[in-house]
Structure 1
Amino acid sequence: MLLAALAGFGTGLSLIVAIGAQNAFVLRQGLRREHVLPVVLVCALSDAVLIVAGVAGIGAIVTAAPLVLEVIRYAGAAFLIGYGLLAARRAVRPKVLAADPAGLRTTLTAAVATCVALTWLNPHVYLDTVLLLGSVANGYGDVERWAFAGGAATGSVVWFTALGFGARLLAPVFRRPAAWRVLDAAIAVVMIALAVSLLLNR
């Protein structure tokens, strides 16, 4: 069981440790030290739910309902474009940055809602977390597959906790407004690139 859990931990990390919309948002909230715990919890719990769903066999339903993934794909692309444009606006508006280098404060509701949308409106999360992790986990026995799922969920908790709360180590760099402009410009590029990728990869 320990080997299955370790395999799940490594596989889970390999899927989530990448530049993406969700990670970019968690990083930004961590740098702002704003609603970090709720954002980390939403990401980790969402991953846990999706991992359990994949191991339980929900991936077969996702595969059998391509229309659902299509709706999620277009909704996710629209959301990413909108969020990317907002990030681009923050990057090119020095007046906002002059008042507050981190930008305007985000409410808890807005932060959680954005995190939920970035997580659940991304069709890749269903393909990677539900289908891929579920398929790998089901290669183990009836008991070991749940150890694999536990390891994958633990990997998610470790990653998002480190990303969200570890971001403050970069705080000296982001005391300068220019650093926030560069970060928001990078986030805008990532978000819009992911949206285009969703629309083009049918």
Structure 2
Amino acid sequence: MFIEPSLGRKRQPEKRGQIEMICGSMFSGKTEELIRRLNRAKIARLKVEIFKPSIDKRYHEDEVVSHNESRIRSTPVDFAEDILLLSGDSDVIGIDEVQFFDNQIVSVVNKLAAQGKRVVMAGLDMDFKGKPFEPVPQLMAIAEYVTKVHAICMKCGDLASFSFRLSKAEEKVLLGEKESYEARCRKCFYEDLQ
């Protein structure tokens, strides 16, 4: 609390919203970093709510789980607008796999930040063809903080920022893990891209 010198009254500090985007390829530690930031907010006794798209049931139905098995309770939602309805009086909102939401997520995140909430998101910045994975580029543009994390190339051991799909499937969204994707550096990604 602050004391206004001229009035001698206590006033609450103003809540300022902000947007943080954690992006990168598969196996780069995006979810691990998201969980770390949300756990730190909990240690600070802030009210935290975490959301994920309901289609992502790879590890657990109602937990966000990293490839290293770090986990945190979450609420699966079908639509970005559901996050607005369910965020309540939370101070911090976490959103994992944000690339699976439609472009409405951009408006939702802006509204949450305007309400004074800290919004922390994690998502793929490129699809399996090496193209920008909407809506993540839009979210990066409106974020105050953008963190790009890197994996290790599964072919050469260099830093990797691409998600290489091992199958010939062409649909944009194909949920999978190590059986379906490998992290690749630029050189190894484009050598094997067909």
Q: What TM-score, normalized to structure 2?
A: 0.22
More helix by share: 1
TM-score computed with the length of structure 1 as normaliser = 0.21
Which protein has greater RCO, CA pairs closer than 8 Å, 6+ apart?
A: 1
Higher strand share: 2
